[in-house]
Structure 1
């Protein structure tokens, strides 16, 4: 097992372009790096924190090297209704499309996410000791680094808890084989409580700005507020969600990118825009995994479902612009062949070359803040006008046609909630959010909207499997993935999700 700090150094050297760095550290025993030689200076703490972010870029396109960004896309989209199989779809992907996931399916391997958690745990465990060793290292600087690690760890656990339900909660680093311990699952409520705690502790110590584009690729206080809002919505704590969103809105540091000929390029292709809150900053040295997934027809693993153009966006025109929603054809999707365009276009017409596949992956944008606040307000009495005002900010930027305006009753919470959900489908198409949005909508108020999920799966699976799939959805455990078989074999404390027990 490679030491996490060794991996940190490799990541940092890769980013900096120091090809000789890996050779130097390869000669040092892993435990020696941690306990004797590594945690000595503030520069080493900084490098370790940057390593946490670099780990978000890990991975390749094969099952054995799948990285976090690809995992986030798959977990957030493949179970929902915005994508469908294509010529290059793999058998394990079809399993999930058909709601027949098995525990040996590599797509449910959570190790890429727990690796990031371990990197964060390593910073939290070892960085404080540097305060006594480097007299130029301040408590304020240390607290800022710890805030980043806690917030990133919290976000990774949030992905896990929404994807698997109950998961092991590991808060101490694994630095060598001797540190490996077997942990039972913690309940979803326990994991969420730790997420809330981590974010609350991190918030006052996180920086508000790094002064440049690092604000988009590293965690700031406003990133933390945004994650807090997302977690609060999942926990149905709507007052807390509004409070967190308002912190971002009132900062006046973010806004929607105005629609223009350059809108697509500024927001998606180039990234680091005023609308971005947190993103993975891929570049020409570290490409994203999406070209292979979406670009070439013969190997394309996913395409947009027909309903994306037919129902989500529609082909109707905006009366003012006499053009369709700017998020539709040539932005989220290419209508002629349903290609997922958001990651492979250089503008609304031309496709990037494989060597230029560095479109960023967005965790959160300012549009998310507006729509999360709208979603929370929709559950409060007398706030319907505010809900529509927030949603309309997003719709007006996109020149959304009247055909997608459901004109909800401002006194009807369910109509308002559905209106927000449908707008989120348009705004965040293929950004890894759809399944989590649907599940959040379905499970609120003790699964009062389970019929929505049943209707959704009826449009996904083959006609012969509709009744079976709909019956499965009635078991709430089916909404979460099984634990990967390797984890069950190596950790005897784990118990399989009951829906998948043989």
Structure 2
């Protein structure tokens, strides 16, 4: 029976050239020791990692909340939960369910299982080639690295578990690892993953929806920025740019539908592939239940409004990122600029990395290396192609890195609106040089905060430990080695 199931799964994998490859899951999960016998087992286990992310409706919503709800572009909608509201107003307690990290560690364990058990299949199945195995290991290493990068950005110090948990006798009592050490482990994993990586698969959905060398390079660019290793960030970004495999698509009425409505465009580097068989929850949380809304800052300031000529619009603004009349977050629910998707067609992808993101990260590295003129040129190139309004332009001097940094952040807010980047972008800039730009976080958080809570929020954010979420009380109860973030004691 097992052989028959695997045969069917592999047939499905080879016959479909779109998102259906995500339907593959290893029978009975990925942790069964007796599962690891053939190359098909390894393949199914790796695809199971992606399926775990796609199949958990909370996964991408959590990425959205962590990156946006503490920023200045999103406010809770009328159907937001108390936990969402508390996250937005920096009123976070260890009892808040949104601080639970179990879904991330579950997927990390899937990755660890592949890394630990897949190599032994070389001795079981002579048809599994070493290069093929290395390709699979690259995917598991890179996804694990991305998840740890996300956890360290969100919680700061987190447990770093690099071996699979295969049974109840394994050690669950692990202390946290310092944030910088986690970042360095991420960089180390990505270096090995790059060495083993696939450059190109046979289909576009696989190229955009599975780990490639370029997805790894994008992750490397980001983690090196967090490590303030700007030379290596620049090297990683240039690997993507110099490949010639990606481009910014000129503005047109079809730009939104191509990049977001359909996905997998030439601007895409790595997207989580939803489909008609694997729908997301975006139409519910952004439209029907309205748990999230665009803030007044996002509606009126980020993209700008030309009062003299309403037709003059930043291509990324109205009916792309937002519908201003209802402060609606449109990016994840539109089929095109005129038509929304429905609950049965809600298949917009989650965008881990896009080409413009990498270009702006390169600009960030250049600016920190005192190459301000080159950084400004990248910003202006993107603004021209996106038809950005003149009123959102800034004119920093090439030798003024502080002002250029603000320009980069402003452009990232337009380009990557609601893609889970905003809070982390501002935090990354603010924390450099012993929080020399703490004002960036204070200004962002207070711009959309209720007036009655602004002083309280200001006081909390003066403490850098408040910039990270607490360890959930359930985690503290089950793992006695954990020590709470001191801000929440």
Note the C-alpha offset of 1:393: 2.0
Tell me the equivalent position of 1:108: 99
Aligned residue for 2:125, secondary structure, equals coil
Gaps of 5+ in 2: 1-8, 14-18
| C-alpha separation in 2, matches of 1:74 and 1:18 | 26
Gaps of 5+ in 1: 1-8, 61-66
Note the C-alpha offset of 1:472: 1.0
Equivalent residue for 2:185, pick from 181, 194, 197: 194
Deviation per CA, 1:243-270, whole angstroms, max 9, x where unpaired? 1000000000001122112111110011
Residue 339 (str. 1) matches residue 324 (str. 2): no
Tell me the equivalent position of 2:383: 395
Residue 459 (str. 1) matches residue 410 (str. 2): no
Please list, as runs of the form range in 1=range in 2, the aligned pairs for 1:245-256 lying within 5 A after superposition. 245-256=237-248
Equivalent residue for 1:49, pick from 46, 54, 69: 46
Tell me the equivalent position of 1:262: 254
Deviation per CA, 1:133-180, whole angstroms, max 9, x where unpaired? 111111111111111111110000000000000000000111222224
Runs of 4+ in 1 over 4 A off after TM superposition: 12-19
Aligned residue for 2:177, secondary structure, equals coil
Aligned residue for 2:141, secondary structure, equals helix
Equivalent residue for 1:140, pick from 131, 139, 147: 131
CA RMSD of aligned residues (A): 2.2
| C-alpha separation in 1, matches of 2:23 and 2:432 | 50
Tell me the equivalent position of 2:358: 369
Tell me the equivalent position of 2:119: 128
Tell me the equivalent position of 2:151: 160
Residues 133, 375 of structure 1: alpha-carbon distance in 2 compared, 3 angstrom cutoff: same
Note the C-alpha offset of 1:186: 0.6
Residues 46, 17 of structure 1: alpha-carbon distance in 2 compared, 3 angstrom cutoff: closer
More deviation, 346-355/265-274: 346-355
TM-score, normalisation: structure 2: 0.93
Please list, as runs of the form range in 1=range in 2, the aligned pairs for 1:410-449 lying within 5 A after superposition. 410-449=398-437
Aligned residue for 2:152, secondary structure, equals helix
Aligned residue for 1:354, secondary structure, equals coil
Please list, as runs of the form range in 1=range in 2, the aligned pairs for 1:197-346 lying within 5 A after superposition. 197-213=188-204, 214-296=206-288, 299-316=289-306, 323-346=312-335
TM-score, normalisation: structure 1: 0.91
| C-alpha separation in 1, matches of 2:84 and 2:443 | 21
Note the C-alpha offset of 1:16: 6.2
Tell me the equivalent position of 2:86: 95
| C-alpha separation in 1, matches of 2:222 and 2:305 | 31
Tell me the equivalent position of 1:83: 74
Tell me the equivalent position of 2:349: 360
Tell me the equivalent position of 1:4: none
Aligned residue for 2:404, secondary structure, equals helix
Q: Give the aligned length.
A: 474
